[in-house]
């Protein structure tokens, strides 16, 4: 995640044990995580006469799942009453517990149509000229190989930072050598329902509209409840930090897609409360969209200044000009690369070479 400066951001706060009703039939339950500098993920419960829908049930693994179970008990939600599990996007702090929870509850598992993980079946349901999904399922095509990003070099010629051995074992090796029960607990979810932009889903006793919001991930899904003025925003719009925009992925210009997705959300007339995946609910959707876009404009301005100082230069030295030393590394480089590629595509930068010889000149 970007834009993390002192004082501590909301998204870094530790999880509370409290279960709160933040809107009619909408419960907020915070799950503790230690993931890319975050302190918690918000798991939401949407209550109706059929039972409950659960949104983003945390990281994979038995330790995290026990906390999911504890929060559900505190909220007086028996697992057998869960009829739907919703995943906003394909990052493990959101989908990790979804497969197991849906299986134990016999629930429908809902994602966006393009949902995929490193080990799941890839999907593409996008119109690249619009940055969001259009057309029917017959338009889907394979995006990228189903390997983890650290298994291949970066476009700028470095080795992508590999998770430590323990984390790699927990994600890949364990899937081959663990018991069948352990594999079920760690397995990524298999969606039973894939939503497309504009689809309607009945939750909390009212209609919610699917919004495809690519940028942070290609498959990011928000849900809009016009009756109560709610927007479940996942990681797309957070209260005090901006989501990481990775240059390594399926989208050739994720920053363009992110800006377009932000604009589409800001155009919604009746949002009175945004329910983010990290941090606290907030009310100023348009103001927050404006500040997020300004943050990325500032990043591009910093790249222009760095390029004037360095001349033709690679991704790594440019990233080290615009990010603090504490966050140097693969994520800073990846976000720098995304900004540079966007500047090239809008005609404000040039590039030459490839791999280890790739260089940019901005402005």
pLDDT 10s digits, 72-129:
999 999 999 999 999 999 999 999 999 999 999 999 999 999 998 855 444 444 433 3
Q: How many CB atoms lie within 10 A of CB 17?
A: 11
Q: What is the DSSP letter of 215?
A: S
Residue 352 tokens read as: 């030459």
Distance (Å, rounded) from C-alpha 155 to C-alpha 328? 17
Q: Are both 10-146+189-289 and 302-362 of the same fold?
A: no
Give alpha helix (H) positions in 311-329. 315-322
Helix axes 330-345, 315-322, angle to 10 degrees: 100
| Per-residue confidence (pLDDT) for residue 122, from 0 to 100 | 43
Return the percentage of the chain with pLDDT > 70, whole number: 81
| Per-residue confidence (pLDDT) for residue 68, from 0 to 100 | 98
| Per-residue confidence (pLDDT) for residue 35, from 0 to 100 | 76
pLDDT of 28 higher than 80: yes
Contacts of 283 (CB under 8 A, 6+ apart): 272, 273, 274
Distance (Å, rounded) from C-alpha 1 to C-alpha 241? 7
How is the chain split into domains, by residue range?
10-146+189-289, 302-362
Pick the CATH number of 10-146+189-289 from 3.60.15.10, 2.60.120.10, 3.30.465.10, 3.20.20.70: 3.60.15.10
Radius of gyration of the chain (CA): 20
Q: Which position has the higher pLDDT, 139 or 86? A: 86
| Per-residue confidence (pLDDT) for residue 143, from 0 to 100 | 34
What predicted TM-score, i.e. pTM, was given to this entire model? 0.87
Distance (Å, rounded) from C-alpha 151 to C-alpha 153? 7
CA angle 154, 127, 232 (to 5 degrees): 85
Contacts of 317 (CB under 8 A, 6+ apart): 310
- At 36, is the pLDDT very low, low, confident or very high (cuts 50, 70, 90)? confident
User: Which stretch of 246-255, 296-305, 306-315 has the lowest confidence by average pLDDT?
Assistant: 246-255
| Per-residue confidence (pLDDT) for residue 263, from 0 to 100 | 98
* Of 338, 359, 330, 323, the residue nearest 150 (C-alpha): 330
Q: Tokens 């919004």 correspond to what residue?
A: 211
Distance (Å, rounded) from C-alpha 322 to C-alpha 306? 8
Average pLDDT (238-257) is 95
C-beta of residue 250 within 8 angstroms of C-beta of residue 257: no
| Per-residue confidence (pLDDT) for residue 244, from 0 to 100 | 96
Contacts of 34 (CB under 8 A, 6+ apart): none
* 302-362: CATH architecture: Orthogonal Bundle (1.10)
């Amino acid at each position: 995640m970007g834009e993390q400066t002192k004082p501590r951001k909301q998204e870094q706060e530790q999880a509370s044990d409290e279960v709160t009703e933040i809107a009619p039939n909408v419960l907020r339950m915070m799950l503790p995580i230690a993931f890319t500098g975050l302190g918690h993920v918000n798991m939401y419960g949407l209550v109706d006469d059929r039972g409950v829908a659960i949104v983003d049930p945390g990281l994979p693994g038995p330790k995290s799942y026990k906390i999911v179970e504890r929060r559900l008990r505190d909220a007086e939600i028996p697992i057998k009453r869960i009829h739907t599990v919703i995943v906003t996007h394909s990052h493990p702090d959101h989908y990790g517990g979804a497969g197991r929870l849906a299986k134990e509850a016999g629930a429908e598992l809902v994602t966006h149509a393009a949902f995929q993980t490193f080990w799941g079946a890839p999907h593409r349901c996008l119109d690249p000229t619009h940055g969001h999904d259009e057309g029917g399922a017959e338009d889907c095509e394979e995006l990228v190989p189903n390997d983890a990003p650290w298994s291949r070099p970066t476009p700028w010629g470095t080795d992508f930072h590999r998770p430590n051995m323990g984390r790699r074992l927990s994600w890949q090796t364990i899937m081959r050598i663990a018991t069948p029960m352990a594999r079920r607990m760690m397995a990524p979810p298999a969606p039973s329902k894939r939503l497309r932009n504009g689809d309607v889903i009945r939750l909390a006793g009212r209609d919610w509209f699917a919004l495809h919001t690519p940028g942070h991930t290609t498959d990011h899904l928000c849900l809009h409840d016009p009756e109560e003025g709610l927007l479940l925003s996942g990681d797309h719009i957070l209260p005090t930090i901006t989501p990481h925009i990775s240059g390594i992925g399926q989208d050739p210009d994720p920053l363009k897609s992110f800006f377009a997705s932000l604009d589409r959300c800001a155009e919604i007339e009746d949002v009175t409360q945004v329910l983010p995946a990290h941090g606290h609910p907030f009310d100023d959707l348009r103001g927050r969209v404006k500040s997020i876009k300004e943050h990325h404009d500032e990043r591009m301005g910093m790249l222009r200044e760095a390029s004037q100082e360095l001349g033709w230069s690679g991704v790594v030295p440019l990233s080290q000009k615009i990010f603090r030393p504490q966050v140097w590394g693969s994520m800073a480089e990846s976000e720098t690369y995304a900004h540079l590629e966007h500047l090239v595509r809008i005609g404000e930068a040039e590039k030459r070479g490839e791999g280890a010889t790739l260089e940019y000149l901005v402005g």
